[in-house]
Amino acid sequence: MTQAVRRAPYPLILVVLAALLLLAATAGVAAGSVGLPFGEVWSILLHRLRLPLGEPTWPAVRETIVMDVRLPRVLLCAVVGAGLSVCGMALQALVRNPLADPMLLGVSSGGTVGAVAVMVLNLSVFGALTLPLAAFAGALLALFLVYGLARAGGRMTTIRLVLAGVATAEVLSAVASFLIVTSNDPHKADSALRWMLGGLAGTTWDLLWIPAAAVLLGTAVLLGVSRPLNLLLAGEEAAAALGLDVHRFRGAMFVLVALMIGAIVAVSGSIGFVGLMLPHMVRLLVGADHRRALPAAALMGAAFLIAADLAARSLIAPEEIPIGILTAVTGGPFFLWLMRRKAAR
């Protein structure tokens, strides 16, 4: 007799994840060259929200540190982490393969090429939106390219998908490097290179709103289509028989995911493996039904990336490790474990 899956009640899991997120966010704001007590972090935040809690008892400089330096960075981490995690989960359903991830599929690299081109060539056709739009265009192009390559001449298999993704990512990274190396402005080249490694330092409130809006709206849309996403897990033919116009739906969702990844990559560079690891942990916790899994993925992704960023800036303080290096160090072994587990089945 096959064993039933035992899981904790869903609302409890959501509450625990939300508590973890708040804890990570508080720690993220409190920690740094000037350490702040957790209580003071919240006093400052609540004071700024104009709640009548008495007079400020802290030096004004601390308020500046919290409000202008650390809070935007922590919020951006939350947005990027939630976005990558949700996009990873959606991509895994769309290509019906648990090894899909924005970076593995070359989507992040596509976004990177778009963004680097804008930086190095000094384009600014659409003002502040130029960088995210270019990243979006690159991400979308990469996604359709990989999907087309993986499907060419028959059925899409895991091997074909991963190979197509790796090859595309490789070529696109080379293009980005080429753009940087051949740029005749060393200053611009340097900033593009640092950006490519992935990092969330120097975040300001101005940087926050485009990715925040993209991730919030995108996640809302994905929640709205969580039933069709479930159908894709049953296979293409079954999804068609259950009333889904598979090709149109998949095309529309590719555009949506590319938009989200583009907006994320434009502010954070490429941060790998978040979109691969977290959806798996979430599915183990709450199951594969996207109506339950997507909200949990967003919470867990946000908490994870805040914690990873905290580690990135405190492990060898005052130096910072690029966060992409940290996520790769944890994500690489996870990916190998997953491949072995899948092969063993």
Partner 1 sequence: MTPGELRAESVSVVVNGRALVSEVSLGAAPGEVVALVGPNGAGKSTLLRTFYRAMRPTSGRVLLDGHDIWRMPAKRLARTLAAVLQEAPGSFELTVHDVVAMARTPYKKPFEGDDDSDRRIVLGALTELDVADLAEAPFDRLSGGEKQRVLIARALAQQPGTMILDEPTNHLDLRHQLDALRLVRRLGVTAVVALHDLNLAAAFCARICVMDGGRLVADGPPAEVLTEDLLAEVYRVKAEIRPHPRTGIPQVSVPGD
Site map for partner 1, 254-293, x if CB under 8 A? -----------------------------xx--xxx----
Rounded to a whole number of angstroms, the minimum distance from the CB of residue 13 to partner 1 is 14
HSE, CB side, 13 Å, CA atoms: give it for residue 331.
26
Is position 247 an interface residue for partner 1 (rule: CB under 8 A)?
no
Cis preceding linkage at 318, omega within 30: yes
Rounded to a whole number of angstroms, the minimum distance from the CB of residue 110 to partner 1 is 26
Q: Which residues are CB-neighbours of 261 under 8 A, at least 6 positions away?
A: 83, 84, 87, 102, 107, 108, 111, 135, 136, 139
Is position 39 an interface residue for partner 1 (rule: CB under 8 A)?
no
**Residue (of 102, 35, 115, 105) closest to 70 by Cα position:** 35
Is position 15 an interface residue for partner 1 (rule: CB under 8 A)?
no
Of the candidate residues 240, 315, 317, 336, the single one contacting partner 1 (CB under 8 A): 240
Output 100 or 149, the one with its CB closest to partner 1. 100
Is position 241 an interface residue for partner 1 (rule: CB under 8 A)?
yes
How far, in whole angstroms, is CA 280 from its chain's centroid? 14
Amino acid type, 113:
V
Could you list the beta-strand ranges (E) of 148-291: none
Is position 3 an interface residue for partner 1 (rule: CB under 8 A)?
yes
Is position 228 an interface residue for partner 1 (rule: CB under 8 A)?
yes
Amino acid type, 152:
A
Is position 237 an interface residue for partner 1 (rule: CB under 8 A)?
yes
Of the candidate residues 37, 56, 148, 235, the single one contacting partner 1 (CB under 8 A): 235
> By three-state DSSP, how is residue 142 classified?
helix
Could you list the beta-strand ranges (E) of the chain: none
Tokens of 167: 């090859």
Of the candidate residues 225, 257, 296, 300, the single one contacting partner 1 (CB under 8 A): 225
Site for partner 1 in 120-159 (CB under 8 A): none
Site map for partner 1, 188-217, x if CB under 8 A? ------------------------------
Of the candidate residues 109, 230, 270, 327, the single one contacting partner 1 (CB under 8 A): 230
Question: Which of the 8 DSSP states describes residue 104?
Answer: T
Selected range binding partner 1 among 8-16, 17-25, 237-245, 309-317, rule: CB under 8 A: 237-245
CB-based contact 28:70 (threshold 8 Å) = yes
> CA 262 to CA 267: how far, in whole Å?
9
Residues that bind partner 1 (CB under 8 A): 2-5, 92-93, 97-98, 223-225, 227-228, 230-231, 233-238, 240-245, 283-284, 287-289, 342, 345
